[in-house]
């Protein structure tokens, strides 16, 4: 399984150093990917945990104040990068076109994109969830060569489940996973959105889930070992 930890906009330098030490004590047979804030990427150090980023510029390089390029990430040892997280689509107004460029630059640097897709509550209620995620997938992935497509990790994260404590029921998740896997049978698909110690036993019954993207739980360093033991 793949367990991706999205620290989001959390952990100062000192906090991160303590966090990293504790994270390195975790024993697991799973692939754990840590996606810290940009300011903490250079402080990462591990032999067992992989390094990811939370975002990348949609430009290759140049006069783009505040942006971080795929090449800069690569030089820091980044192997994975989240793209299209709903928080960026909503707050930073990232479009499907931006996301497509980001994926292109990441693949040029041989960094594996973790592409986040997911519907809003309104889209689910109006039975548009499948259309929304297929459009997000299609616009990001349609032009990729097979060998590049195979490097993509997909993360299904219903927007209304992120950070809210609510998650879809297993039938709803299975339905979305089967839609995704019919089109992209060779890509790992993660579930993300309010995954915690209380719902993991239920989520584990879904055999098509290839891993989890954890936000809030990624920060609860003392709970992570128990969590991974249960997978
Ligand atoms: P959450 O976040 O686990 O806090 O809901 C998941 C995510 O945003 O990737």
Q: How does pLDDT run across 155-184, given as a tens digit for each residue?
A: 999 999 999 999 999 999 999 999 999 999
Has 25 been annotated as catalytic?
no
Q: Which residues pair with 52 in a beta bridge?
A: 80
CA-proximal residue: ligand 1, atom 3 (nearest): 215
Q: What is the mean pLDDT of residues 191-203?
A: 97
Strand pairing partners for 211?
2, 190
Task: Name the percent of the chain lying above pLDDT 70.
Answer: 100
What one-character-per-residue DSSP string does 148-169 give?
A: HHTTPEEEE--GGGTTTS----
How far away, in angstroms, is 70 Cα from ligand 1 center?
23
Q: Where in the chain are the domains?
A: 2-230
Neighbours of 207 (CB within 10 A): 8
Ligand 1 atom with least separation from CA of 213: 9
Distance CA 36, CA 17 (A): 11
CB 61 within 8 A of CB 71: yes
Q: Spot the catalytic one: 30, 61, 85, 136.
A: 85
- From 212, 178, 225, select the one nearest 4 (Cα to Cα): 212
CATH number of 2-230: 3.20.20.70
């Amino acid at each position: 399984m793949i367990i991706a930890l999205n620290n989001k906009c959390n952990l100062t330098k000192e906090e991160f150093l303590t966090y990293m030490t504790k994270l390195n004590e975790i024993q697991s047979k799973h692939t754990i990917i840590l996606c810290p804030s940009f300011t903490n990427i250079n402080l990462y150090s591990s032999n067992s945990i992989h390094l990811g980023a939370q975002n990348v510029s949609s430009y290759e390089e140049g006069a783009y104040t505040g942006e971080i390029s795929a090449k800069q990430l690569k030089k820091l040892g980044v192997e994975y990068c989240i793209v299209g997280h709903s928080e960026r689509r909503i707050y930073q107004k990232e479009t499907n076109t931006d996301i497509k460029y980001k994926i292109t630059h990441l693949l040029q640097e041989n960094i594996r994109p973790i592409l986040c897709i997911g519907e809003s509550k309104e889209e689910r209620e109006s039975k548009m969830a499948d259309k929304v995620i297929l459009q997000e997938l299609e616009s990001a992935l349609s032009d990729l060569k097979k060998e590049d497509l195979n490097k993509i990790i997909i993360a299904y994260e219903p927007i209304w489940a992120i950070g809210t404590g609510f998650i879809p029921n297993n039938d709803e998740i299975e339905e979305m996973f089967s839609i995704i896997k019919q089109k992209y049978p060779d890509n790992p698909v993660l579930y993300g959105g309010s995954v915690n110690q209380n719902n993991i036993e239920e989520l584990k019954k879904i055999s098509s889930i290839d891993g989890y993207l954890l936000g809030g739980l990624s920060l609860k360093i003392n709970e992570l070992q128990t969590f991974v033991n249960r997978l």
